[in-house]
Amino acid sequence: MSVSTQKNMPLRAGERGAAAGSFHIEDVYPCVDAGRFPVKRLAGDTIEVWADIFRSGHDIIAAQLIWRREEDRDWHKLPMTLHDNDRWFGSFAPGEPGRYVYAIEAWTDEFATWKHGFELKQKAGQDVTLDALEGAALLTRAQYGGKEATTIIVRQCEDYLKGGDPASLLVPELASAMTESRERGDLTRSQLYPLTIDRSLAAAGAWYEMVPRSQGAVAGQHGTFRDCIARLPDIAAMGFDVLYFTPIHPIGRINRKGRNNALTAAEGDPGSLYAIGAEEGGHDAIHPDLGTFDDFRDLIAACKTHGMEIALDIAVQCSPDHPWLTQHPDWFKRRPDGSMRYAENPPKKYEDIVNPDFGCDDAGSLWNALRDVILFWVNQGVRIFRIDNPHTKPFNFWEWLIREVQTKDPGVIFLAEAFTRPKVMKGLAKLGFTQSYTYFTWRTRKWEIESYLNELTGYPERDYYRPNFFVNTPDILPYHLQSGESWMFKSRVALAATLSSTYGIYNGFELLEHDAIPGREEYLNSEKYEIKVRDWNAPGNIRAYIAALNQARRANPALLQTRNLRFLPVDNDQIVAFTKQTTDAGNTIVGAIALSRDACEFWLPLDSIQIRAANDSMPPVALENLMTGERHAIEWGGVRLRIDPLRDPALLFCCLA
C-alpha cells in the first residue's frame, strides 16, 4: 500500500508546502490485506513496524510512528529510524488488550536539510552568509516542542544574531531541539492500520474438552457441575489451562436422537448435546440436571483456584422445541408445505436441529439476540467461546458480533471450529476469530506436517492466524488413532503440544479410547448421544505423559509460541525434527518426534542454531533432555541420538551454552 498524498489527514490552511503530495509511504509491515483486517499481537509485545518512505528531490525527510486505542483521540508518537534503502523502522508496545490503530507520518526535515547543505558548502569554501541567515530564519519558525527545546532554540538564535557566527547554528543540541520543534508543512500521513491486542491465553494454552454430563461416577446417572468440580484436581495436575465444555443447555425432545445418532430415542436417552433448547430454556439456560447457575459460578471460581478458565461451546442452532421457534417464528425457514426446514448437509440430515435464517426480515433482532447470548455468559464469568461451524453463518455477522463483545471486554477469546476450505478458514481468522481449528488432525506424514507448519508460521498467516491443534474431537476419531497404540497417542499429543503454542485433547484421549464406527472417523457409542462413565485412572492411560509435556511447555517459553519455528534436516522420513526459540534467543528448544513405531538412530544437525549467553550469541554446546535431565554434548555441529517410540516417541531438549 502506497500513500503519496495528504488526503487521509486534512491540514490547516497554509500548511501545505511545496513538497505536498511528494511522499510515498508503501510496503508497510505488519498489515493484513492492505489494512482491511487487523494484525494480531499480545499485550506487551513489541510491534515492529517497517515501511518504505521516500519523496522527490534530495531533501532530508523524517518519519514517526503514531498509535492509539481505536476509541481514543490522542496519539502516541515515536520517531522512526532509517534502516537503509529508504526502509524505515519503528516500534511500540501496547500494554493492554483492545483494538488499536497505527499509522506512519513523514515530512521534510527542513533544518536537517539546511544543515547538511550548509556544511557541504562551508567545507568547499563557499560563501555561506546568506545560507546562515536562512538557517536562522528556520529557527524563528520553529513550533513549540517543549520548554527545554524552546530554550535551546531561542538561545542559539540570539547567539547567532549577536555575533553572526554560524557555528551557533550547528551545535548538536540545536539539531535535537529542532527535531522536536520543527515546522512540518508537508506532513503526510499513511492510512490507518488496525491492530488487535489480546491477552496471553489467546496465543498459548492447553485445552481439555469434556462433556459435563459424563463426569459422574454412577453408570447412567447424569453428571453435574459438582462432579466437574471434583474432576478439576486431576485435570489441573495434567497441566491444562482451559476446561472446554460441550453445550450445557437444555436438550430438545422433538425428534430427539438416540444412541449412535439413531433416528429414534429410546426411553432415557439424553439426546444430542447440539440439539439446543427445550421448554426449560435456550442458549442462555443450563440443563437442569447439570445444576444451577450458582453451581456454575462455583465451578468457574474453582477453576480459577486451579489456574484454569472455562470455555463454552456456542452452536448457532436450535432444537424444534427451542423457545425461539415460538417467540420468533420468522427467524426460521419453512418448506413450501409449511413444514420446518431442518438442518441438512446433503445427504446428511439433522432432524433434531433447525438453523436460524440470517436472511430473514427480522435479521437485526436475530443478530442482537445472539450477541446477547454471548454477553450473558460473559456476565457469568466466561471469557472463552468455541464457535461451532462459523463458516456456515454470514461472515459480516461474526465480524460484527466479535467487535461488539470485545468492545465490552477485550479479553474475550473466540475459537473458530471450521474444518472447511483453507481460504474460508483464513477468512474467519482475518475478520476477528482469535484462534482457529486446523488440519493438523489429519496431517500424519513428515512432508505434510512440515509444509503445513511452514504455511501457518509464514507470512502473512502468522500475523492473523493462531492455530489450535486438536488431536481429536467428539466428532473426529482419526484413523491413525483407531489402532489404540500408546506410542501413536503419545506421538500425536507431543506433536500438537510442541509444534503449536495452543493445542487440545478431547476427554478419553488420555485413556487411549479408540473404538470407531467401522470405516469412519467417528467414535462408536459417542457420548454426544449418551452418558458415559469412565475410570480416569484405568491401566494404560497416558495422563503422566501429558502432564510432563505440559510441564515442559510451561517451563520453556519457546514452546508457548508458534511464530519462531524451524524444521531441522533429519535424513529420516519417520522423524520430524525442529527448533523453537524465543525472540531474544534466551530459550531454545530442539525436538525430534517419531512418526512410526520403529526404533532408530539418527544424526541431529544443530550447526544453524545460535543461542543467547551472557548477552552474546553463540552456538549451543550441549542439549539437556526436558523429560529425563540427560545431557548430550554437541560435537561436529550436531549430536547422534536414538529414539525408541515404544518407550517415548518424542525427544525434547533445551539448548545449553
pLDDT tens digits along 27-58: 999 999 999 999 999 999 999 999 999 999 88
Residue 573 is among the residues annotated as catalytic for this protein: no
Chain-centre distance for alpha carbon 110: 43
**Phi then psi dihedrals of residue 159, to 5 deg:** -60, -45
- Say yes or no: 584 and 466 in one domain: no
Are 350 and 238 contained in the same domain?
Answer: no
Q: What is the DSSP string of 11-79?
A: --TT---TTTT--EEEEEES-BGGGTB-EEEETT--EEEEEEEE-SSS--EEEEEEEEETT-SSPEEEE
Whether residues 337 and 371 fall in one domain:
no
Residues 6+ apart with CB under 8 A from 637: 605, 606, 607, 619
Q: Does residue 6 have a pLDDT over 90?
A: no
The reply, when asked if residue 352 is annotated as ligand binding, is yes
Mean pLDDT of 174-182: 85
Q: Is residue 551 part of a domain?
A: yes
On whether the CB atoms of residues 491 and 645 are closer than 8 A, the answer is yes
Residue 19 is assigned to a structural domain of this protein: no
pLDDT at 15: 42
144 pLDDT higher than 80: no
Domain count, the chain: 4
In a domain, 5, yes or no: no
8 Å CB contact between 425 and 405: no
Claim to verify: residue 607 and residue 553 sit in the same structural domain: no
Does the annotation list 342 as a binding residue?
no
Domain boundary among 197, 212, 227: 197
pLDDT tens digits for range 562-616: 999 999 999 999 999 999 999 999 999 999 999 999 999 999 999 999 999 878 8
The residue with greater pLDDT, 525 or 6, is 525
423 is in an annotated binding site: no
The answer as to whether 264 is a domain residue is yes
Q: Is residue 7 part of a domain?
A: no
Digit-coded pLDDT (tens) for 323-370: 999 999 999 998 888 888 888 878 878 899 999 999 999 999 999 999
Residue 19: predicted pLDDT: 44
The one catalytic residue among 110, 131, 388, 648? 388
Q: Does 287 lie in the same domain as 431?
A: yes
Inside any domain, residue 343: yes
| pLDDT of res. 2 | 53
Query: Which residue among 59, 109, 209, 417 is the active-site one?
Result: 417
Tell me, yes or no, whether 248 and 340 share the same domain: no
Q: What is the pLDDT of residue 5?
A: 41
Q: Which of 172, 197, 222 is the last residue before a domain boundary? A: 197
Does residue 18 register a pLDDT over 80?
Answer: no
Mean pLDDT of the chain: 94
For residue 16, pLDDT over 50 is answered with: no
In this prediction the pTM is: 0.93
d(C-alpha 278, C-alpha 266), whole Å: 18
Is 8 assigned to a binding site? no
Note the pLDDT tens digit of each residue in 522-547. 999 999 999 999 999 999 999 999 99
Q: How far apart are CA 39 and CA 30, in angstroms?
A: 7
Mean pLDDT of 618-639: 96
Mean pLDDT of 73-85: 96
If asked whether residues 455 and 532 sit together in one domain, one would say yes
371 and 477 inside one domain: yes
Residue 52 and residue 80 share a domain: yes
CATH value at residue 636: 2.60.40.1180
pLDDT of residue 11: 42
Identify residue 27 by its one-letter amino acid code.
Answer: D
Residues 161 and 300 in one domain: no
Domain holding 546, by residue range, is 199-252+280-316+361-559
Q: What is the CATH number of the domain that holds 99?
A: 2.60.40.10
Please list the residues that pair with 65 across neighbouring strands: 78, 104
Determine if residue 389 is labeled as part of a ligand binding site: yes
- The number of angstroms, rounded, from the C-alpha of 6 to the middle of its chain's C-alpha atoms is 34
Please report the pLDDT score of residue 244 as a whole number. 98
- Whether 302 and 385 map to the same domain: the answer is yes
Q: What span, in angstroms and rounded, lies between the C-alpha atoms of 198 and 558?
A: 19
| Residue 203 shares a structural domain with residue 154 | no
Query: Residue 519: which CATH number?
Result: 3.20.20.80
Task: Tell me whether residue 9 is in a domain.
Answer: no
Is 6 among the domain residues?
A: no
pLDDT greater than 50 at residue 425: yes
- Picking from 512, 539, 559, the residue at the C-terminal end of a domain is 559
Q: Mind listing the pLDDT tens digit for each residue in 195-252?
A: 999 999 999 999 999 999 999 999 989 999 999 999 999 999 999 999 999 999 999 9
In the residue annotation, 417 being an active-site residue is answered as: yes
Q: What percentage of the chain reaches a pLDDT higher than 90?
A: 89
Indicate if the pLDDT at residue 13 is higher than 50: no
Q: Is 257 annotated as a binding residue?
A: yes
